[in-house]
Structure 1
């Protein structure tokens, strides 16, 4: 849970110190899709993966991914095209970058629940910012048609 620090300040001549209580074994897994349909605003569809699952898994299973894609297909009402596994072709990598630079930057989290709350809040805010999502899509070379 070491916080990403982009900038900080302190009195002149004093080195700033960011104290972190310790490391946690908890993890947060989130699967997300940045989607667009011609004539409509871009959308961000995401699903969390609970830390404690009944089957003991700590990550997504193929069924979780399948359910996410089916939900996106139903919400969009159109075919879904998935890029190959390449970070430079995946607009969600830009979404995570925006999240790290805004919601979670320069912040020391008190506990894992504080981190989870901040991530959900940041993703919720991004859902209502189609202009930011359009920028993430454009950064991959995808061209968005204006509505």
Structure 2
């Protein structure tokens, strides 16, 4: 952090976390209230449409940036970077922590100038608070639901992302990470 601050004098340094998640018609089954001894119905689909949500959050401020994509590859990550660069305050330099997925190390990756990428240790998803946000979205918005088609899935994904991420207090709570000083 100190090295990044020295390389970008006059900029406020913020720590963000980034991750991707796949959401689709084969959703998550979760618990639901029912009378004792009964077997409540649960929705399951046989279709396999899905989309990816690329997201980043700042646990200190509760600010988020997200992008929906039908594919997950280096081009999608570069599109996410372009959107991220437009939405982040120009007086801020972001230290973005992310996992070491294969496309995160690709030669074609083009992070913006206001971003320094820091890889998290391999096989440690518990260190990325975005995993908590995906769990929240799955359990509160995407579980036990059926989607008519891809457009229905996309609209639902947008609604879930916006309704969750427009609440910075919720993001701060869900993405809180006690192991880092922000």
Equivalent residue in structure 1 for 2:97, among 61, 73, 83 = 83
Alignment of 1:1-147 (within 5 A): 1-10=26-35, 13-20=37-44, 22-35=45-58, 41-50=61-70, 59-76=71-88, 77=90, 78-85=92-99, 86-105=124-143, 107-112=144-149, 113-139=151-177, 141-144=179-182
**CA apart distance, 1:117:** 2.6
Structure 1 residues 14, 7: closer, same or farther in 2, change over 3 A? Answer: closer
Structure 2 length as normaliser, TM-score? Answer: 0.60
Does the aligned pair in 2 maintain the 1:42–1:134 contact within 8 Å? yes
CA shift digits 1:110-134 (9 cap, x unpaired): 4244443322211101221111111
Residue 56 of structure 1: aligned partner: none
After superposition, the C-alpha distances for 1:25-73 in whole angstroms (9 at most, x for unaligned) are 2111111111367xxx4211111113xxxxxxxx222122122123213
Unaligned runs of 5+ in 2: 1-25, 100-123
Deviation at 1:9, TM superposition (A): 1.4
* CA gap 1:127/1:79 in 2 versus in 1, 3 angstroms: same
CA contact (8 A) 2:59 2:176 kept: no
Give the gaps of 5 or more residues in structure 1.
Answer: 51-58
Taking a change above 3 Å as real, the CA distance of residues 69 and 142 of structure 1, as seen in their structure-2 partners, is farther
RMSD of aligned C-alpha atoms? 2.5
**TM-score of the pair, normalised by structure 1:** 0.71
What is the number of residues matched between the two proteins?
A: 130
Pair 1:45–1:18, CA change in 2 (3 A): same
Quick one: structure 1 residues 140 and 109, their matched pair in 2 at CA, closer, same or farther if it must change by over 3 Å? farther
